Amino acid sequence: MAEVKPLVAGNWKMNGTAADLRELDGIVAGQSGVACDLAVCPPVTLLAEAVRRVEGSDVLVGAQDCHPETAGAHTGEVSAEMIADSGAKIVITGHSERRADHGESDELVRSKTEAAWRAGLSAILCIGETGEERRAGRTETRLEQQLAGSVPDHASAERLVIAYEPMWAIGTGLTPSDDDIGAAHAHIRGRLEARFGVAAQGVRILYGGSVKPANARAILALAGVDGALVGGASLKADDFLAIAAAC
Ligand code: PEP
């Protein structure tokens, strides 16, 4: 298995106005001692200014969603090309809040991910089971379905990151056991390698769901965990940097 540099990515969700970019400034100021790649995904209103603030640093800026089409009559939507035009390098696709709140299917997530690649962005594609699916022993089946349905052909480490985010762990303070995280990541890795062969070897598989400074070291040390997708704890520079320092 090839060595990969971990990635810690922050998803600000629908949080943040211009004043909150001071937290991004704090992340830029504190990133030099960090051994992993860092990305911050603020709301789309802040993208261009966020890109300006990270100039000259290694911090990447990403968006949280994109439309599959390049342009057109889709009021309120933002295309991957528009995101790339802002200077952002990444987009999150298939976040469970979009799958749940907007009924996004695996097929739509796949087309959004293809759009990201078309625009030259790399995608952080989220998958994960519900609490009910886990209790019913259907976690691996669900992950397989989501990988088969959401991940486009021709995936590579340059343009794909998978985020394993159990839906029941997001924003709840709950996390799976170390064994369960390890098993899910191993399963995802196995499916990617079965489909993409060596091209999948460097694809990073992040864990997401209630990652905090207090649990980051243990989670990031698990075999098969190549970083974290962080929601709530990414809103404060100190917390986000404390998580990144655990890599
Ligand atoms: C997320 O929404 O991707 C997430 C991981 O949220 P939190 O860290 O707040 O659980």
Ligand 1 atom 4 nearest Cα: 231
Asked whether residue 2 carries a pLDDT value surpassing 70, the answer given is no
pLDDT digits (tens, 9 = 90+) for 196-220: 999 998 999 999 999 999 999 999 9
Calculate what percentage of the chain has a pLDDT beyond 90. Answer: 97
Burial zone of 78 (CB within 10 Å; 0-12 exposed, 13-18 middle, 19+ buried): middle
Which pTM does this prediction carry?
0.98
Q: What is the pLDDT of residue 67?
A: 98
**For a pocket test of ligand 1, which of 220, 230, 243 has the largest count of ligand atoms closer than 8 A to its C-beta?**
230
Ligand 1 atom 8 nearest Cα: 231
Q: What is the pLDDT of residue 3?
A: 75
Q: What is the pLDDT of residue 33?
A: 85
Give residue 123's pLDDT band: very low, low, confident or very high (50, 70, 90).
Answer: very high
pLDDT digits (tens, 9 = 90+) for 153-195: 999 999 999 999 999 999 999 999 999 999 999 999 999 999 9
pLDDT digits (tens, 9 = 90+) for 124-147: 999 999 999 999 999 999 999 999
C-alpha torsion sign, points 217, 218, 220, 222? positive
Give residue 1's pLDDT band: very low, low, confident or very high (50, 70, 90).
Answer: low
Residue 138 to residue 235: CA distance in whole angstroms:
33
Asked whether residue 79 carries a pLDDT value surpassing 90, the answer given is yes
Annotation marks residue 97 as catalytic: no
Annotation marks residue 3 as catalytic: no
Query: What would the mean pLDDT of 17-43 be, rounded to a whole number?
Result: 97
Contact 152, 117 (CB under 8 A): yes
Q: Where are the alpha helices (DSSP H) in 175-226?
A: 178-196, 213-220
